[in-house]
Structure 1
Amino acid sequence: MPEEWMQLIRDNADALMPLVVEHGLNLIGAVAILILGFWFAGRARNWAVRALGRMPRFDDMLKNFFGAIVRYLVIIVTVLAVLSQFGIETTSLIAVLGAAGLAVGLALQGTLSNVAAGVMLLIFRPFRIGQYVEVGGIAGTVKELTLFTTELNTPDNVQIIVPNSNVWGQAIRNYNAYSTRRVDITFGISYGDDINKAMDIIKAEIEKDARILKDPEPFIAVLGLGESSVDIVTRSWTATGDYWPVKFDLTKAVKEEFDRGGITIPFPSRTVYNAAD
């Protein structure tokens, strides 16, 4: 290599070395800020959730929501600190981002609608963490409400993530909103059976179950005359947590007493004729 080239490389290396050192240090500092910022964002979320958890009347859903907001705010501050580490003027950058926010907002209407729906769910709170709800044909126990989604857990332990806009934009059926629920059960008996005897059996089984409330008073009546059965309906009230146990146990108990009392429950039958006969 000619001596002139070697001298040119040495001159340029001497000139570039301060820049390499300066920007290298900036890069190391930016990476350190980024790592510490994301670590602190997670810790800040946990601190916020724990701090709000000390308030006995503060809802669990709100704790998680505000914790997520704190985390995102720390991440935003971290990104701005990284940019300033490279000498980028963050104030002008914020102005540019604000001007571009409208265009981004139009492009992300679905995402922003989820955030808006999440805020509405927090304000009106049609359900809380741990309640069993049905939204848009999807039913499950509410596990968490975030800025964008609602997490449900089905009775067979399947996780379902529903966008907040789908939750807020649909009819919400909350099965745990009230402390009591009505248990409706229909029993079909044969036309030849004694209706009053069947109703007495049902009434006796209802009175035996201490979980069934006396007020409102249980209701028993003939609902209708079916194709092969006389349908008797019973409507009784119980605590919301006892709804399914009462329904299962009462159905079983009445069936067993029907068998003992000679009350038959008809089932569909079909007679097949041979064309050759």
Structure 2
Amino acid sequence: MLLLQQEFGLDPQQYIPPLISAVTTVVLFVVVFVVLYLLGKYFVTRAVGGGLRHRDFDETLVGLAVSTTVGVVAVVAVALAATVAGFGVVLAAFATLAGALALAVGFAAQDLIANFVAGVFIIQDEPFTVGDWIEWSGNSGVVREIQLRVTKLDTFDNQLVTVPNSDLASAAVVNNVANDRRRVSVGFGIGYEDDVERAREAIVDEASRIDGVLDEPAPTAPVTELGDSAVVLSGRVWIDPTESGYGGVRAQFLEAVKARFDAEGIDMPYPNTELSGGIEVTNVGGEEETAM
């Protein structure tokens, strides 16, 4: 062994200082990282979570903020530990690579990010909550679940609809059960020869008999249109949408008024058109046969 060391000029002692230096650097990096990470995770996450809960933020957003804070604390701890340990060059290269990756991921996942941000605003602003009946862009459904990326709804045909949150955030959303009262309006056409007051009394009387219709505001039936073939009265009742279904009350209203009009002989005319003028009928040869 001594002969080999002399022949190739190998001296084990010359590798000991660099090895000790490398081990010391790694140990210093690990110790600094662990200390900074644990302290930051304990104090910063508690401060973030407590601050958001104090401002009555939704628990979903609080959990998301706390998880994000843990990730940020880990990145900062790595950066500071690398700086203290003397990994400045490596840290700079890592930062450049991370920036390029973040830019590429941002372009590739812009739709996902848009849905995510929209979900945060939906959860925080609460334009609707689970169980609400909403309408948007010609669609409607009852909210089953609100997630950070999508919202799941059940249609009235019991179909599950999954909608990206960005679609709901950018559309005009109608919440049909947000208020404690909602009006149900149904148009009833009567003939021009029929008595308007008599028809109005029949509509209002039948409306007051329907379960779920509120006494205040009272049912009304103003004339809203003089159509081509009918005088239209708008039967209007108010309901509590949390206790009575809009569709059920409307269906009962229609059936009750139809039966009452039939019983009292009040006409409900269908659209008709009267033609005036004259026509001429000719045979194939072009000779005139009949004139009217």
Deviation at 1:131, TM superposition (A): 1.0
Q: Does structure 1 residue 248 correspond to structure 2 residue 245?
A: no
Deviation at 1:107, TM superposition (A): 2.8
Structure 1 stretches of at least 4 aligned residues deviating more than 3 Å after TM superposition: 62-74, 91-99, 269-277
Judge conservation of contact 1:136–1:166 (CA < 8 Å) in 2.
no
User: Considering only CA atoms, is the larger Rg found in Structure 1 or Structure 2?
Assistant: 2
Aligned residue identity for 2:154: N
Gaps of 5+ in 2: 1-55, 71-89, 282-288
User: Which one has more relative contact order, counting CA pairs under 8 Å at least 6 apart?
Assistant: 1
Counterpart residue number, 2:102: 101
Task: Percent identity, please.
Answer: 35
TM-score where L is the length of structure 2: 0.60
Counterpart residue number, 1:113: 114
Q: Does structure 1 residue 236 correspond to structure 2 residue 237?
A: yes
Judge conservation of contact 2:225–2:232 (CA < 8 Å) in 1.
yes
Aligned residue identity for 2:171: Q
Judge conservation of contact 2:222–2:233 (CA < 8 Å) in 1.
yes
- The CA RMSD over aligned residues, in Å, is 3.5
Tell me the distance in 1 between the aligned counterparts of 2:158 and 2:210: 30
> SS state of the match for residue 127, structure 1?
coil
Aligned residue identity for 1:134: E
Q: Does structure 1 residue 258 correspond to structure 2 residue 257?
A: no
Per-residue CA deviation, residues 36-93 of structure 1 (Å, 9 max, x unaligned), is: xxxxxxxxxxxxxxxxxxxxxx99xx5677788999999xxxxxxxxxxxxxxxx969
Tell me the distance in 2 between the aligned counterparts of 1:144 and 1:274: 67
Q: How does 1:195-206 map to 2 (within 5 A)?
A: 195-206=196-207
Gaps of 5+ in 1: 1-57, 75-90
Q: How does 1:85-100 map to 2 (within 5 A)?
A: 95=95, 96-97=97-98, 100=101
TM-score where L is the length of structure 1: 0.63
Counterpart residue number, 2:21: none
Q: Does structure 1 residue 122 correspond to structure 2 residue 123?
A: yes
Aligned residue identity for 1:180: R
Tell me the distance in 2 between the aligned counterparts of 1:64 and 1:157: 27
Judge conservation of contact 2:210–2:252 (CA < 8 Å) in 1.
no
Counterpart residue number, 2:208: 207
Per-residue CA deviation, residues 4-34 of structure 1 (Å, 9 max, x unaligned), is: xxxxxxxxxxxxxxxxxxxxxxxxxxxxxxx
Deviation at 1:178, TM superposition (A): 1.4
Aligned residue identity for 1:231: V
Change (3 A) 1:271 1:171: closer
Tell me the distance in 2 between the aligned counterparts of 1:271 and 1:68: 68
